[in-house]
Structure 1
Amino acid sequence: MIYILLSICCSVVVSIMLKLARRYHIDVYQAITWNYSMAIFLSWIFLKPQLQNLKDAPFFSYSLLALLLPALFVILATSVRLSGIVRTDIAQRLSLLVPVIAAFFLFGEQITVIKLIGIILGFTAIICSIPWQNKNAVKRKNSNAWVYLLIVFAGMGLIDVLFKQIAAFTLLSYGTSLFIVFVLAFIFAFTGLIFQVLNKTMRFSWPHIFIGWVLGVANFGNILFYLKAHKALANQPSTVFSAMNIGVVVVGALIGMLIFKEKLSLLNKAGIVIAIIAIVIMAQS
């Protein structure tokens, strides 16, 4: 569970940086693009990828994951604009349903009563943690808004499933797989950046490179420890999926309350308590 805890901490750091980015008018897309260049560097230095025998590598999974990682940041921003923060937040958190179902039906994990109780409590905690009465929610009507919510739900869930598949691929080290994913993600994101700059829909800014590198350190740690958790708990994917998502909700809520002075309702506080109980149960399982 130590890998899950480290991944949660890195994930929350990424969320804090993205939250501050909006406050200081930082172009998130440029920061996300350059974050993958730092992730490539860290992967090369610390994970020592072996690139000699790649003929059996799952390049379809690599490419799909590399495309989804930067693309979903754009989709999330669009979803917030069209559907509001609350609805987007709900779609993102409930995407846990996708990898949990995959754990039992795709990865063949055995269902036990303790795991089922932990998962049910986890979903209850997530629902309780949602800011249903958020006054900052964007109230706009758009006929296509539901499409972006659906993409957020399915996309976030699919990313979790793809990471599990990569962690389960034993012909290559996870360091090699991670390096390839980061290289492809940077190529896709950089191509989009160049396209927007040439079309004059984005103004290139040098400081975003440094900001992206700082973000890349946290993002690298998040994904690295997440893969390590799947390696360590190879037969317990639902535990990794659930504990990771629930943990991010708990730590994120506490950071929001303590640092950003966000107010939590009684329901939100109950959700934190239920989430902690759920994590303990799944850890015991």
Structure 2
Amino acid sequence: MIYLLLSVLSSTAIFVLFKLFNKYNVDTLQAIVFNYITACSCGILLYNKPINIDSFISENWFYAALGLGFLFISIFNVMALTAQKNGLSVASVASKMSMIIPIVFGIIVYNESIGFQKVLGIILALLAVYLTSIKPKSNVVLTKTIYLPIILFLGSGVIDTSVNHFAPKGNLPLFLSIIFACAGVIGLVSVSVKATKSKQKFNPKSIPFGIALGIVNYSSMYFLLKALRVDGYESSAIFTINNVAIVAVSCLTGLLLFKEVISSKNWIGIGLALISIILVTL
């Protein structure tokens, strides 16, 4: 379970860094590009074999990695639009509720176990995600641009499911590198086009914050995949525990570090998160 714990802590660090972006006026899109470049570099550094381009291009997972790279940055933009048009709470709920997609996929495709206790744990986890994500005085508007949270829900679920399904055991660092490299190239083109049109200046703060984000971003994916490959643990249980733990820990981190207000619903959600983790784990 150490891999799962490291994944949760890394994902929570992503939340902390995004909060710091606002505090220090960091250009988010520029930092995102440096994040992908750094994450790609992490995979290359951790890959302890000679990199033979011809050999891994012929692998089935190579084209899946390219597609996932496109999805990574596309869904990131959808998440930003959802937060702007529908509210931050809607974006948070839609992205985290998507865990139901890889859970159902694992039960149907991988023939993972299903029973009353596990189903109850998953239902409580979904309820915990909803209650923990709803913030007081949040302007939640579902009637406008309703397609955005739907796309975010489906896209996030497809990403989690596909990364787990296509990730090879031996070439995991290289697999992640290709995903982040593809996302980074698309992001770099987007930044260049945006800079040309709006004559936007480069923000030097984007480099250190982007590097920090890239390290924890890579770590969150790497440790999650390592946890999914530990014998004796099913993917449906891992995805449930990982997502609900991230939401709960992020909520508590917001309280401790940024003095965010936690409502009674949030506290109930955190409590349900703990109960769901116990039910699914046992």
Q: TM-score, structure 2 length as denominator? A: 0.91
Question: Are the equivalent residues in 1 in contact too, given 2:106–2:236 (CA < 8 A)?
Answer: yes
Within-5 A mapping of 1:9-28: 9-28=9-28
Q: Which runs of 4+ in 1 moved over 3 A?
A: 138-142
CA RMSD of aligned residues (A): 2.1
Q: 2:82 aligns with which of 79, 84, 101?
A: 79
CA separation of 1:234 and 1:173: change in aligned 2, threshold 3 A: farther
Q: 2:110 aligns with which of 107, 114, 131?
A: 107
Sequence identity percentage: 27
Question: Are the equivalent residues in 2 in contact too, given 1:44–1:179 (CA < 8 A)?
Answer: yes
Report whether the alignment pairs 1:215 with 2:217: no
**Matched residue, 1:64:** 67
SS at match of 1:60: helix
Report whether the alignment pairs 1:251 with 2:249: yes
Within-5 A mapping of 1:228-247: 228-233=226-231, 236-247=234-245
Q: Distance in 2 between matches of 1:51 and 1:114?
A: 45
CA shift at 1:225, angstroms?
0.4
SS at match of 2:110: coil
Structure 1, 101-110 or 273-282: larger mean CA deviation: 101-110
1:232 partner letter: V
Q: Distance in 2 between matches of 1:213 and 1:189?
A: 15
Give CA deviations for 1:222-246 in whole Å, capped at 9, x if unaligned: 1110111111158611011111100
Q: For structure 2, which runs of at least 5 residues remain unmatched after alignment? A: none
Question: Are the equivalent residues in 1 in contact too, given 2:26–2:205 (CA < 8 A)?
Answer: no
**Matched residue, 2:139:** 137
2:238 partner letter: V
Question: Are the equivalent residues in 2 in contact too, given 1:43–1:49 (CA < 8 A)?
Answer: no
Within-5 A mapping of 1:31-50: 31-48=31-48
CA separation of 1:91 and 1:30: change in aligned 2, threshold 3 A: same
CA separation of 1:243 and 1:233: change in aligned 2, threshold 3 A: farther
Report whether the alignment pairs 1:89 with 2:92: yes
Q: 1:122 aligns with which of 122, 125, 129?
A: 125
Give CA deviations for 1:108-160 in whole Å, capped at 9, x if unaligned: 3232333222212211212221325x324366974xx1121111111111111
CA separation of 1:248 and 1:272: change in aligned 2, threshold 3 A: same
CA shift at 1:79, angstroms?
1.2
Q: TM-score, structure 1 length as denominator? A: 0.90
**Matched residue, 1:147:** 147
**Matched residue, 2:8:** 8
CA shift at 1:104, angstroms?
1.4
1:17 partner letter: L
Question: Are the equivalent residues in 2 in contact too, given 1:33–1:70 (CA < 8 A)?
Answer: no
Question: Are the equivalent residues in 1 in contact too, given 2:62–2:175 (CA < 8 A)?
Answer: no
CA shift at 1:5, angstroms?
0.9
1:231 partner letter: R
Q: Distance in 2 between matches of 1:96 and 1:194?
A: 34
Question: Are the equivalent residues in 2 in contact too, given 1:122–1:278 (CA < 8 A)?
Answer: yes
Q: 1:180 aligns with which of 178, 181, 192?
A: 178
Q: Distance in 1 between matches of 2:6 and 2:229?
A: 14
Q: Distance in 2 between matches of 1:243 and 1:216?
A: 23
Q: Distance in 1 between matches of 2:18 and 2:223?
A: 20
2:78 partner letter: I
